[in-house]
Amino acid sequence: MSRRTSQLELPGLLALGFYGVNAAYYFHRGEPWNALWICHLSCVWIGLGLMLRSPALNAIGLLWLSYGFPLWVYYLIFEGDLRATSACTHVGGMSAALLGVRELGIPRGTWRKAIAGILVLQQVCRMTTPAPENVNMSAGVWAGFERCFFSSYAVFFAANLVATALIFSAIERAGERWIARVTPRDGGPPA
């Protein structure tokens, strides 16, 4: 096993562990649907991506976490409910994903796969989670946004999908530029 491989295995295991501990917390509380939030599930993709050295899996996890991270911060500001397990999936997951992007890169077109995954996940959540919980905004306009921006779920869903696709595409391009800056021109490992 090379040193570079082992450098990714530990963060990969940690990302999977972050998800596992957070999911266990929600199951213990009798709220298993909360384990399906995209930002928590992103740690599974990140962990598998790092363990398998898969740039696409890691990048999908990064994009998914980029989707959920700002919403989590919004939730913290207005709900004030910070849990250590949730902080691990968000902050720890983001750290692991960025390390993975630095080492593995971001394959072009990953944003499309991440969007497709979100659409599948929203359908799973729509069919398996309580509608009032609105996991991954699968059942309605996110609380508070209906009064300000969106009068119907269809408009909210379409606007959210387009905005997310644009953001994912921009993050992918920014990641490509970042990799180009931190990778030596001789093709060797980043400094």
Residue 13 lies in a domain: yes
Whether residue 1 has pLDDT greater than 90: no
Domain count, the chain: 1
71 vs 94, higher pLDDT? 94
- Measured distance CA(79)–CA(33) in Å, rounded: 19
> What average pLDDT score do residues 99-109 get?
92
Structure tokens at 178: 């970042």
The whole-model pTM stands at 0.86
Q: Is residue 133 part of a domain?
A: yes
Q: What is the pLDDT of residues 122-165, one digit of tens each?
A: 999 999 999 999 999 999 987 777 767 787 899 899 999 999 99
Q: What is the mean pLDDT of residues 96-123?
A: 95
* pLDDT score at 190: 52
Q: What region does 151 belong to: left with phi over 0, alpha with psi -120 to 50, or beta?
A: alpha
Residue 190 domain flag: no
Residue 12 lies in a domain: yes
Average pLDDT score over residue span 63-67: 91
Range of the domain at 136: 3-182
Question: Is 59's pLDDT higher than 80?
Answer: yes
**pLDDT of res. 45:** 97
pLDDT, tens digit, 9 for 90 and up, residues 20-33: 999 999 999 999 99
Confidence label for 63 from pLDDT (cuts 50, 70 and 90): very high
User: What crossing angle do the helices spanning 38-51 and 55-79 adopt, rounded to 10°?
Assistant: 150
Residue 178 class from Cβ within 10 Å (0-12 exposed, 13-18 middle, 19+ buried)? Answer: middle
